[in-house]
Each structure stands twice: as C-alpha cells, then as structure tokens.
Amino acid sequence: MSELRTIAQRIALSVILLSFLSFANEAAAQDGKALFKANCAACHNIAKDATGPALKDVESRWPSKQLLVTWIKNWNKAVATGDAYAVKIKEWNPGVAMSVFENLSDKDVDAILAYIKTETDALNAAPTTVPGGPGGKTEESDNSLLYGVLTLILAVVSLIMLQVNANLRKLADDKDGVPAAEPIPFYRNKSYITLMTIVLFVIAGYFLSQWAIGMGRQKGYQPDQPIFYSHKVHAGTNQINCLYCHGGAYEGKHANIPSVNVCMNCHNNIKEYGGEKLYKEDGTEVNGTEELKKLFAAAGWDPAQNKYVGQGKPIEWVKIHNLPDHVYFNHSQHTKAGKVQCQTCHGEINKMDEVYQFSELSMGWCVNCHRESKVDFNDEKGGGNKFYSIYEKYHKEIKEKKRDSVTVSDIGGLECQKCHY
C-alpha cells in the first residue's frame, strides 16, 4: 500500500508541476475538467478503455483536430466525411453509439481537449495510475465534555461547601449551646430527595423527549444493499456525473434510482472489476466482479454471449433517505432553481463505498438551511433569476442598502405550505 501511496503522491506532484508549467492552459483545463466530468466521464476514461476508448493522446490519433471536434459534437457528421479513422472508430464498440453533443461550442470542445491533454501529459510522465490519496479529516472541536467535567467539579465543590457550611453551623450551635437536632442522614433529608427527584426528572425528561423527537429519524442509516454498489468507484474514481444516473434530480421531485438499463449502458462492456480492493463497513472484502454478476442476473444479460438472454428483474434497493408522507420535497427546486450541490445534503457521496444518510433530514435541519441560504436574486447588472424581479420591495431595500441579500426565508421559505400540502 505504502508503495502505491508514494506513486500516487508523485503523480499528484507531477500533475501540479505540469499544470504550473502549462499556465496558459490552466483556465481552459479547469473548464475542461468540469465539462469533461459532466459530458464525457460517464463513458470515457483518459487512461483506459471503458464504454468508449481511452482518450489518452486522442488528438494525435486523429488526422486533423477539426475532424475530431466534428466527431465530438456529432460523430455522424464525422463519419459522413468518409474519413477512414472515423469509420474505424465508429466500429469501436458496436453495441453502444456515442451521444451527440451539439450543445457544446467549439470553445467547450477545445477546453475539454486541453484538459485531456494535460491529463495525458501527466499520464505520460508516470505510466501507471492509481488515483486518490487518503483524505484528511478535520476534527471538530467539541466543548461539551469540558463543560460536563466543569459542571461535575462545581457540583462536587458546592456539595462539599454545603457540608462544610452545615458542619460549621453545627459547631457554632454547639458553641452557643443551642441544642442540636438529631442529624438526619442525607438520604432522608427532604431537601436532598427533592433535589434528586428534580434532577432525575429533568434528565429523564431530556432523554425521553430527545428519543421521541428522534423517532423515525435515521441519520447515519447505512443498510446493506442487494448489490454492493460503490459510489466511490463510480462518482469518485471514475468521475461519473451524478446526473448521468440521477437525472431526475434536475427535472422533478424524485432524483430517482437509475433503472437497470442505465447501468447496462456501461456495464455491457465493463464485465469485471479491476480497481482498488473494496471493503464493506465491517471490514469484509467484497469481490467486485461477483457483485457485477448480480447486476447481470438482474438485467438478464449473459456476459459470455454479450446479449440479453433472460427476462430480468428490477433490483430492490433499500431506500435510505425517507421523508414522512406529509412532506413535499422537490429535488429540482433545490438543484436547478436553488443551485444547491448534491453534496450539501448527501455528504461526500463520491467517497462513500456504501451510502449512508449524511444529513438529519429533520424539519429543523431544513428550516436552518432555508434561513441561511440566499436566493439567486437579480442584481443591478441584470444577473440572477428573473423570477425574483417581482419582489420590488426587496429590490428597493437592496438599492437603499438596507439589505445586501435575500434569503429563502425572506421569500416565504419558512411557511408551512411550502412543504406541507
């Protein structure tokens, strides 16, 4: 392992160095990285063949860059030119045709190619590639223990003081000759009993209400799934965009778990797992290739014959994020209109082998975010979402510098019927 790590660190170092060297390329490569992840990463890996061929040195393979750009935007047009290489590449994976990307501008494609070039250079510098190093954890400072200890010490001190006080009074009484009452042991002392009862009641009440509030909440819920599907491998290592599988998150209320045919888009080519070893949460090792066989069984696909042979059967995943029935939640409202990143609520899913519930999903959690999040309010330059142009009052206040931003709660994001109807 340590050897691999060293290699990884070296790669990382060389990538950084290279990127410094190709300074002019940097901005383009940065855009290119995002574009590559969004559009290409689902099928293409730079270093190795996937659903599509490896993109290492792609530019040098093509007769002209212009033709390559044409291919990327609409491969049909490239084939139509009759170029021998384009025709050859068309047959690279007969099962799956490449998508059409007419929406990409020439500039976008250039950026993607620049990114591929940077990566290619990095790869050429170090022939083997193993991505990723261990991520550092930031310890959250938690003072509750300190406070607890302090409280305990103070409580003990005050008890001692009380006892001392009582003893002193007794001594004084003895001195004054006041007849002392029969000393009562503390467990029969009414003050002590009352105090203890109240303390117990408060503690029990606190825990009871915490337990009651937490009923049905499942933060950290990490069930075993029918197939060991690793988000880390897909979204982390292979950089597949979340929306490739969970496209619904941008369109409607459900993010949707992808149907089996979406998995098979890639996996009719990727038949075995050859990446880093996989481990379950309890430490047992997982054989990725065996897990893939479960997928093939569900799809009714025979990997040996490369065709669908059986009926297939949908996979019954265990639902992790459960909201009560009386809550209306719409993914697209948050992702598309609100521009919230998936990771904000789902955590660093690209580092999870087995997904767990990252957020509390309680109403308090929702409401806090609505209080703090700013909406994409229009600015004076005409940016922002035009929908909010009707909020004249806030525009006026911004102009008069009475406020600098508008939060979700300002436009009614805390009202009951935004989520309950």
Partner 1 sequence: MAKKKYWQSFTELNQTETHQKLAANEFREELPVVSGEGKGIENASASRRDFLKYLGFSTAAAMAAASCETPVKKAIPYLNKPQNLVPGVADYYATTYVSGGEAIPVVAKVRDGRPIKLEGNTLSTYSKGGTSARVQAAVLDLYDTARLRTPVSISGDASTALAIDAADKAILEGLKDAKVALVTPSISSPTTKLVIAEFLAKYPGSRHVQFDAVSYSSLLLANEASFGKKAIPSYHFENAKVIVSLSADFLGTWLSPVTFAKQYAAGRKFDQKNPELSLHVQFESALSLTGSNADKRYTHAPSAEGTVAAALLGAVSGTGATGVEGALKKGIEATAEALKAAAGKALVVSGSTDPNVQIIVNAINNAVGAYGTTINWAAPLQVAQGIDSEFETLVADLNSGAVNAVVIYGVNPAYEYYNAAGFAAALKKAKISVSLSERLDETASLCKYAVPSHHFLESWGDAEPKAGSYTLMQPTINPLFKTRQFQDSLLVWAGSANTYESLFKSTWTSKLGSADAYMKALQDGVVEAPATVAGAAFNGAGVAAAVSAVSGKKGGKYELVVYQKVSLGDGKQANNPWLQELPDPITKATWDNYAIVSPQFGKEVLKIDIADSRQADKYEVFMKKPVVKFTINKKEIELPVLIVPGVHAGTIAIAVGYGRTKAGKAGNEVGKNAYQFLTYSGSTVSWTVSDVAIAKTETWYEVAQTQTHSSYEGRHEVIKEVTLKDFKANPELIREERNAELKNYGGLDNYERDGSPYPLHDRPGIKWGMSIDLNSCIGCGACSVACTAENNIPVVGKSEVLRFHEMHWMRIDRYFSGNPYDADSVQTIYQPMLCQHCDNAPCENVCPVAATNHSSEGINQMTYNRCIGTRYCANNCPYKVRRFNWLDYTGADSFKDNQLTEGVGKLDPAVFQMNDDLTRMVLNPDVTVRSRGVIEKCSFCVQRTQEGKLKAKKEGRVLEDTDVKSACQQACPTDAIVFGNANNPESEISKVRKSNSQRYFAALEQIHVLPSVTYLAKVRNAEHIAGHAEHEGGAEHAEAKHEEKHA
* Of the residues 91, 390, 400, 404, which one makes contact with partner 1 according to CB under 8 A: 390
- Does residue 421 belong to the site contacting partner 1 (CB under 8 A)? yes
List all residues 6 or more positions away from 326 whose beta carbon is below 8 Å from its beta carbon. Answer: 420
- Alpha-carbon distance 97 to 79, whole Å? 12
Q: How far is the CB of 406 from partner 1 (least distance, A)?
A: 9
* Of the residues 333, 359, 373, 407, which one makes contact with partner 1 according to CB under 8 A: 333
- CB under 8 A: which stretch of 95-103, 196-204, 322-330, 348-356 binds partner 1? 322-330
- Does residue 103 belong to the site contacting partner 1 (CB under 8 A)? no
DSSP state of 93: S
Residues 95 and 159 sit within 8 Å (Cβ to Cβ): no
Q: How far is the CB of 202 from partner 1 (least distance, A)?
A: 21
- CB under 8 A: which stretch of 106-114, 120-128, 199-207, 386-394 binds partner 1? 386-394
207: number of Cβ within 10 Å: 10
- Alpha-carbon distance 243 to 261, whole Å? 15
* Of the residues 125, 336, 340, 373, which one makes contact with partner 1 according to CB under 8 A: 336
What x/- string results for residues 231 through 250 when contact with partner 1 is judged by CB under 8 A? ----------------xx--
* Of the residues 74, 252, 276, 362, which one makes contact with partner 1 according to CB under 8 A: 252
Considering beta carbons, is residue 148 or 223 the nearer one to partner 1? 223
- Alpha-carbon distance 243 to 349, whole Å? 13
Task: Please report, for residues 47, 66, 72, 316, the alpha-carbon distance to residue 89 in angstroms, rounded to integers and kept in the order given.
Answer: 17, 16, 12, 37
DSSP symbols for 371-388? HHPBP----TTS-S-GGG
- Does residue 407 belong to the site contacting partner 1 (CB under 8 A)? no
Q: What is the largest CA-CA distance in the chain?
A: 120
- Does residue 254 belong to the site contacting partner 1 (CB under 8 A)? yes
Measuring CA to CA, which residue among 217, 246, 197 is closest to residue 362? 217
Number of residues that bind partner 1 (CB under 8 A): 56
Tell me if residue 16 falls in helix, strand or coil: helix
- Alpha-carbon distance 318 to 316, whole Å? 7
* Of the residues 324, 364, 400, 402, which one makes contact with partner 1 according to CB under 8 A: 324
- Does residue 302 belong to the site contacting partner 1 (CB under 8 A)? no
Which residues of the shown chain bind partner 1 in the complex (CB under 8 A)? 215-216, 218, 223, 247-248, 251-254, 256-262, 298-299, 312-319, 322, 324-326, 328, 330, 332-333, 336-337, 385-394, 410-412, 415-418, 420-421
